Amino acid sequence: MAEAPPSNEVVIRTENLSKTYRNGAEQLLRMPGVTALSNLNMEVHRGEVFALIGPNGSGKTTTLKLLMGLIFPTSGEVEVFGSDPRTSVDVKRRIGFMPDGPYFYGHLNGYELLEFYANLLGMDRAATKQRVMELLEKLEMTTRAKQRVRTYSKGMLQRIGLAHALLQNPEIIFMDEPTSGLDPVGTADMHQMVRQMKSEGKTVFLCSHFLTEIEDLCDRVILLDRGRTLQYGDLNSLLAEPGKMRVRLSAVSAAARARLLPMGRPLAEDQAQGNLELVVADGTDTHNTISTANELGAHLDLVAPMRRTLEEVFMESIARQQADAPWQDGDRGLAHLVEREEG
Amino acid sequence: MMGAILAIAKATYRESIRQRVLLVVLLLGLLLIGVSIAFSSLSTGEEFRFIVDFGLTGFVMVGLGLACILGGFMIPGEIDRRIVMTVLTKPVSRFQYLFGKFLGAALVIFIVDVLMGIPFIAAYMWKHPQHQFNPVLPLALFCMFLQTVVLLGAAMLLSTFSSSSFTVIATGFVYVVGSVNKYVAQLAEHGDSRVQKLIFGVLAKIVPNFQNFDLRQALLAEMPVDWHHIAVDVVGYTILFLFVVLSVAWLFFSEREF
Amino acid sequence: MSQRTGKLIAWAVLLIGIVGQFPLQSRIDRYRSTFRISMYADARPEELTQVETKLKEMGLNPRRGQVLDKTGKPAVLFIAEVPRAEWGGTYEKYITAVHGVDRVDRVVPGLNEQGIPLDQVQSLNVQDVGIIVMAALIGGFRKSAANVLWLQNEENWHAGKGYRTVPLAKAVTLLDPYFTEAWVLTCWHLAYNMSVEAKTPDEAAELIKTGLDFAKGGLPWNSTRFELYQEIGWTYYDKLQNYEMAADYLKRAVGHPHPTFLERMIAHAYERIPDIDNALKWYNISLRKYGDKDPVANGAVATITERYLNAWNLYKTGDYKGALVKLDADWTAALARADRQPSDTIYQHFRARIFEKLAEEPGADRTAMYRQAFAIWLDAAKTNATDRLARRRVLILADNFPEWKSQVPAGFNDVGLPEKRNDLKPEHGSGRAAEPKKAPDGAEKGQKKGPDDGHGH
Ligand SMILES: Nc1ncnc2c1ncn2[C@@H]1O[C@H](COP(=O)(O)OP(=O)(O)OP(=O)(O)O)[C@@H](O)[C@H]1O
Ligand SMILES: [Mg+2]
């Protein structure tokens, strides 16, 4: 299957989207509440895999819920296919949602459950049967179709969750932590599914805090921390550092180290082992670094164009953000200290 | 529009009847009817009256239990288990969801009432001196069903903005006040203070009058009841009350976040 | 549909729901507040029109419907709308519409009326309120709660806690006023068991009166069954020898399905007044209804006819002297014929009544005649300790002629109803039943007075 190139058609757009959770008393007393998301601006294009990345409590699930009209923005705007998801039932025909750790009617069996969602979509009997069987097949759940959902394992639940999201053959599919709780095989399967959906031209919008998986999967990302946008854009350009080279050396003596360090930015270092990794500008600087290392008896292990891991970008951004604008005490209360597994 | 409502109703019904707690409630109801047959010999010569009294009480109790369980835990449960998110991200409006849930629960209540009603009517005819069928019996049972549905509506309304435990307590309160609505109204008329009058007056007005559903007296006295009184007045009252609770429930529910 | 249109619709529906409920509620109230009287299938057209007319006189506009009576046959049902404001216990006045009509099956005061009048609710004691709240909580469990309490009552009784009977019975009947047995047994318990254990005759009299009052309180809810009427009638008859009241209540009892001895009991009451006409009338009713094989009724008709009827006919015309002569003659003849001494209660009562009448004749020797009556009553009272009618007459006469008081034995107390004592003044004749001329409609009058009887004090 040929990969359909992402188009420039914007299917999701947010503008200064903010969400502050306030319970009844807080609303009444006009207390600050918990700001889960502030001033999110993004555009998602048709056919791309878009990822929302952030640690626990950074507002990923909040964003998803806002996009699907399950909760309402405190300020700002959301548009999915150009209309407000809160009021438009039609939009929901074109999207699929796979919630984080999905829960379903436990007393129904897998088939009945999917049949129920198919009925909600207004599918007739024959179409329902055909579509449900097809999906069960695709997700290797056929043998479990007559088993009650409450007896499903986490992996099976994720699969049935995906099946239910795919029932209406949606244009956009939202996935909240699609691989949480899955074993490596299950994770690989899930990634395969995402790639396949992308190849079918679907837009995939996913949330994750597994940075490595995102790195392989997605086209564009947004980095969130405590509701604020840290980075937003094309993954490749985020990771790449143009004009920089990475030089990895070993058997670096103390004297060599003292000479080499000022020549670039240290990326990693192990003094005991004599390992050192430096980022230096390409061209003359790289040449100088290598010859200096050679002179001082250090071994050259690797010279490559600089490309950071997502994790590095992430840690760096957080560090920078905190240096720029450290969160004041009480800014977010204690809520962010309680890291929640599920959002 | 109707398709989604019916699908939700059907799933609610399917899910509910497989829950053990519902079976327990039904068995309790059947037990009450059985006990009423056993104890009816206490009131010699009036056994069928005793069965009416005890049996209808069984219906009331089971109805109250069902309304609390279904109305109080159904929607909050689905919010807790985040099922509601999966439903509302399908092309289903919040009204459809609410109304579908309501219809499904009402169907469950209807089935429980029918399952209890058959042995009840049989017991009545068995103990009646002339083994007569009383046409008021099905009307009275239908009224019990309507009363339970009204309670269900009230419970669902309460559950859209409060916790399950509060809903159960408040539904019980609604039931008690509704059953003695007449006396509450009288207390409002003859209250000691303005405040008392106001509180009782408001209570009497907003809580449904469950005496409207009570045909016990007619059954005990073996008096006929016009079916069009039930079909027009009582059903009408039920529908109007449901209009009120469901529209308020929807107003709350449409503002809810999940 | 936009969010706003949705909200608008919701508000509109809400408004319709709220506004629509009021007319419907009043429709339901009107239907449920109907006072219903069902007749037996074999009720005669006159009886139907009688009830209908009475209801109309009361300002109600009854319509006719159909109902199955206790025998399962289709019968006439009267449905009358009662003004809402009148509900709350006052409907018992409508029950008088069925008094004196034989073929009434049931009276139902509205389909929603459990029968607790408001004034009763307001004067409840803590215990009763507790019970009401409890009953409300367990949801229309009223009848069953009453049954349970009633079992408790019997237990108390056997455990020697009889004093708890009245409050408990009040609670029971409050919960279920149609629980006839509770009214009946409580009355019986007070008038028979507790009054016997009373320390003084006054206390005993008070207990009997309490029992009767209690039973009468249950009439509005049990006026379509014989049991309570019979109990009250029999208590008047047996405990107080107040035969006029006894006949009144017993006659109301026979308006409903009842055991066969009731008609005879009415006749017995009348002959003891004595009211020979009515006694004969009821013996004959009994014979007609249950066949003429009844030896008691047949015998009674024969003895009354031969011993008292002739004198009675003279008595009715006002010929008291002639009546006295005839009575003595017939009695002597009867004595001669009988193989053993017959009971002379009726003879004595009749004779004393005649002397009381003679005392009222213009130009008669009032004191002498009353003196004669006094002697007869005193004799009767002494020979038959349970003849309280005689005892009452003795006391009444002694009150009017204080010089005779010395002859009244010590401890000869009036254990009758206190009000009867005030009623009966020798100067005005000898009480209601001592005007036998009016005896036939006297019964009618008595019936109307019946319900008021319990409210006079
Ligand atoms: N209903 C709510 N009421 C109050 N605060 C909430 C609510 N839902 C989420 N929050 C808070 O909002 C913040 C963002 O939550 P959110 O669930 O969006 O995080 P997340 O990025 O999905 O986290 P995770 O990775 O743990 O799923 C958190 O601090 C959370 O405590
Ligand atoms: Mg989350």
pLDDT digits (tens, 9 = 90+) for B159-171: 999 889 999 999 9
CA distance C450 to C452: 5
Restricting to C residues 136-165, those with a Cβ less than 8 Å away from any Cβ of B are 136-144, 147, 151
> Residue A272: CA atoms inside 13 Å, Cβ hemisphere, count?
0
CA distance C163 to C207: 11
Considering only CB atoms, B243 lies closest to which of C13, C113, C118, namely: C13
**Gyration radius of chain B over CA positions:** 19
CA distance C396 to C8: 83
Q: Do B85 and A65 touch (CB under 8 A)?
A: yes
> Residue C315: CA atoms inside 13 Å, Cβ hemisphere, count?
28
Cβ contacts of residue C246 below 8 Å, gap of 6+? C233, C234, C236, C237, C269
Restricting to C residues 81-140, those with a Cβ less than 8 Å away from any Cβ of B are 88, 106, 108, 110-114, 118, 121-122, 136-140
Identify the contact set of chain B against chain A, taking CB-CB distances under 8 A.
3-4, 6-8, 10-11, 14-15, 18-19, 81-83, 85-93, 257-258
Counting the structural domains of chain B, the total is: 1
- The answer to whether domain A10-237+311-342 has CATH 3.40.50.300 is yes
pLDDT of residue B158: 94
Question: Which CA distances in Å does B137 have to A97, B65, C113?
Answer: 50, 22, 19
Asked whether B108 and B17 are in contact (CB, 8 A), the reply is yes
In a mutational test of the C interface, the residue from A72, A86, A87, A92 whose CB has the highest number of chain C CBs within 10 Å is: A87
- Determine the structural domain holding residue B167 and report its residue range: 2-255
Cβ contacts of residue B116 below 8 Å, gap of 6+? B26, B29, B30, B33, B58, B59, B62
Is residue B199 classed as helix, strand or coil in its secondary structure?
helix
Strands A172-176 and A203-208: parallel
Taking each helix axis as running N to C, give the angle between helix C180-188 and helix C226-239, from 0 to 180 degrees, rounded to the nearest 10.
10
Token pair of A119, please? 């009925």
CA distance C77 to C92: 18
Residues with CB under 6 A from ligand 1: A 21, 34, 36, 54, 56-62, 209, 335-336, 340, 342-343
> Nearest Cα to A48, choosing from A202, A206, A232?
A202
pLDDT of residue B206: 87
CA distance C329 to C21: 79
Taking each helix axis as running N to C, give the angle between helix B94-127 and helix B20-39, from 0 to 180 degrees, rounded to the nearest 10.
20
Torsion angles phi and psi, residue B204, rounded to 5: -60, -30
> Nearest Cα to B258, choosing from A100, A43, A221?
A100
Distance from CA of A143 to the nearest CA of C (A): 42
CA distance B14 to C132: 40
Cβ contacts of residue A40 below 8 Å, gap of 6+? A14, A16, A17, A18, A59, A63, A76, A222, A224, A229
Torsion angles phi and psi, residue A41, rounded to 5: -125, 120
Task: Return the percent helix, strand and coil in chain C, to nearest 5.
Answer: 70, 5, 25
The distance of Cα C215 from the centroid of its chain, to the nearest Å, equals: 9
Helix (H) or strand (E) holding A267: strand A265-270
Torsion angles phi and psi, residue A20, rounded to 5: -120, 125
How does the average pLDDT of chain B come out, rounded? 87
Q: Do C2 and A86 touch (CB under 8 A)?
A: no
Residue range(s) of every CATH 3.40.50.300 domain in chain A: 10-237+311-342
pLDDT tens across C186-202, in order? 888 888 888 777 777 77
CA distance A252 to C358: 153
Chain A residues within 8 A of B87 when measuring between CB atoms: 117, 120
Strand order in the sheet with A75-80: A34-45, A10-21, A75-80
pLDDT of residue B151: 95
Taking each helix axis as running N to C, give the angle between helix B136-159 and helix B47-66, from 0 to 180 degrees, rounded to the nearest 10.
20
Is residue A52 classed as helix, strand or coil in its secondary structure?
strand
pLDDT of residue C222: 83
Strands A75-80 and A220-225: unpaired
CA distance A204 to A218: 9
**Gyration radius of chain C over CA positions:** 27
DSSP state for residue A82 in the 8-state scheme: T
Q: Do B4 and A122 touch (CB under 8 A)?
A: yes
Strands C63-68 and C104-109: unpaired
pLDDT of residue B194: 83
Burial of A71 (0-12, 13-18, 19+ CB in 10 A): buried
Domain ranges of chain C: 35-109, 202-445
Per-residue pLDDT of chain C (457 residues; tens, 9 = 90+): 577 888 899 899 999 988 888 888 888 888 887 888 888 888 888 888 888 888 888 888 888 988 887 777 889 988 888 765 544 444 566 766 776 677 777 777 777 665 544 444 444 445 555 555 555 555 556 666 677 677 777 766 666 666 667 777 877 787 777 888 888 988 888 888 887 777 777 778 888 888 898 898 888 778 778 889 999 999 998 888 888 889 989 988 888 888 888 888 999 899 888 888 888 889 888 888 887 777 778 888 888 888 888 888 888 888 888 999 999 998 888 888 877 777 788 888 999 989 988 888 877 788 888 888 999 999 888 888 778 788 888 888 888 888 888 888 876 766 544 444 533 444 544 443 333 333 333 333 333 333 333 333 3
Q: How far is the CA of A20 from the centre of ligand 1 (A)?
A: 10
Torsion angles phi and psi, residue A300, rounded to 5: -95, 120
- Chain B contact partners (≥3 CB pairs within 8 A): A, C
The CA-CA-CA angle for residues A21, A22, A24, to 5°, reads 145
Greatest extent of chain B over all pairs of C-alpha atoms, in Å = 61
Burial of C341 (0-12, 13-18, 19+ CB in 10 A): exposed
Asked whether B214 and C140 are in contact (CB, 8 A), the reply is yes
Question: Which CA distances in Å does C127 have to A139, B36, B179?
Answer: 68, 27, 20
Token pair of A94, please? 């074109």
Residue type, A104: F
The CA-CA-CA angle for residues B101, B103, B107, to 5°, reads 115
Ligand nearest to the CA of A27: 1
Question: Hunting for tokens 């193989």 — which residue is that?
Answer: C339
Q: How far is the CA of A291 from the centre of ligand 1 (A)?
A: 52
Chain A residues within 8 A of C2 when measuring between CB atoms: 87
Asked whether A42 and A232 are in contact (CB, 8 A), the reply is yes
Is residue A282 classed as helix, strand or coil in its secondary structure?
coil
pLDDT tens across A317-326, in order? 777 777 665 5
Token pair of C16, please? 């319709």
> Nearest Cα to C215, choosing from C255, C266, C169?
C169
- Label residues C199-208 b or e (16+ Cβ within 10 Å = b): eeeeebbbbb
CA distance C147 to C181: 10
pLDDT of residue A333: 37
CA distance C194 to C207: 7
pLDDT lower than 50: segments of chain A: 1-2, 327-343
pLDDT lower than 70: segments of chain B: 1, 41-46, 190-192
Alpha-helical runs (H) found in B128-234: 136-159, 164-179, 181-190, 194-206, 216-220, 227-228
Pick the CATH number of C35-109 from 2.40.110.10, 3.30.70.260, 3.40.640.10, 3.30.70.1150: 3.30.70.260
Question: Hunting for tokens 């469901």 — which residue is that?
Answer: B246
> Nearest Cα to B154, choosing from B87, B105, B88?
B105
